[in-house]
Amino acid sequence: MKHSGIISLYAALFMANGAVAHDQHKGGLQSPTDKTTPKAMDIVHAKVSYAGNVATFHMATAASAGHHKPKAKGELAGSEVYSYVWPTTLDTASVGFESDAGLLALAVTSHPDFDDTPLFDENSDGQYDNDGSNWHSHWVVLAPNEQCGAGALGVVDIPDGSTPSLPKTWPGLPILIDSPGWQPVFEQQSVNVRVPFDSTVELEGTQYDGVIAGLRVNQSVHAPLLCVVNVFDVASGDLSLPGIFDEQHDH
């Protein structure tokens, strides 16, 4: 997919889900509050800045960010995921997937019914498979999937028998997801994630947006595995990815 096509496609899919936003902050996206949206899920500002090969993904909300987490269902099928998401125009190959595999997004997620970061012990209890409820980061590749619902997005599935290029920290799920271990930091009404990139990745000119969404694991637990089922807020209002990575210079 070409970036212009991706932006127009996803803008059309999300047009009905977000309030019209305004961009009055240099290097970032400001979003108006919405009384119908839970304050912890209501984006007021999203920004991605970078210095060298390290980018900082930032999102601020109308109330304590990270306050709301999904309730445990007790099983994987049908379980819920809450996610702070930064969709970008970065090529999916920039983090280890096949090139042009879909829309690459950084996501900070919580889901109490499963753990998809097998290399990391987020709650420091010596176990690596019981801390999915703790907020943690992922790269995900998104694409329209009619099986998720009309006009809905899902995380791209890996077909049975397929062996695509995957990041070294892929958690073993049959979807295009990575669990790189970049620790999100919540501070009152904001969440920030510092993400180092390979020195060959060009960050200048990269576009982004901010989204807070709910996802759900399919009852069949595959094909599709993970669908976007509830968009709480979109920073731009229409997922047009109008933000541009803001380069920071040392003074």
The answer to whether residue 234 is domain-embedded is: yes
**Contact by Cβ (8 Å): 128, 120:** yes
The answer to whether residue 34 is domain-embedded is: no
| Tally of structural domains, the chain | 1
**Contact by Cβ (8 Å): 139, 199:** no
Q: Tens place of pLDDT for every residue, the chain, 251 residues?
A: 455 555 555 555 554 344 333 333 456 999 999 999 999 999 999 999 999 999 999 999 999 999 889 999 999 899 999 999 999 999 999 999 999 999 999 999 999 999 999 888 788 889 888 788 999 999 999 999 999 988 899 999 999 999 999 999 999 999 999 999 999 999 999 999 999 999 999 999 999 999 999 999 998 777 799 999 999 999 999 999 999 999 997 64
The answer to whether residue 61 is domain-embedded is: yes
Rounded CA separation 66/52 (Å)? 29
The answer to whether residue 167 is domain-embedded is: yes
User: Which stretches within the chain are classed as H helix?
Assistant: 3-14
| Widest CA span in the chain | 54
Please tell me whether the overall predicted TM-score, pTM, comes out greater than 0.85 for this model: yes
The answer to whether residue 30 is domain-embedded is: no
**Contact by Cβ (8 Å): 182, 193:** yes
E strands present in the chain: 29-30, 43-51, 54-61, 80-87, 103-110, 136-144, 153-155, 177-178, 185-187, 190-196, 207-208, 211-217, 226-234, 243-244, 246-247
Rounded CA separation 145/203 (Å)? 28
| The one-letter amino acid at 183 | Q
Residue-by-residue DSSP string for 102-126: SEEEEEEEE-TT----TT--TT-SS
| Domain extent for 235 | 3-19+42-71+78-247
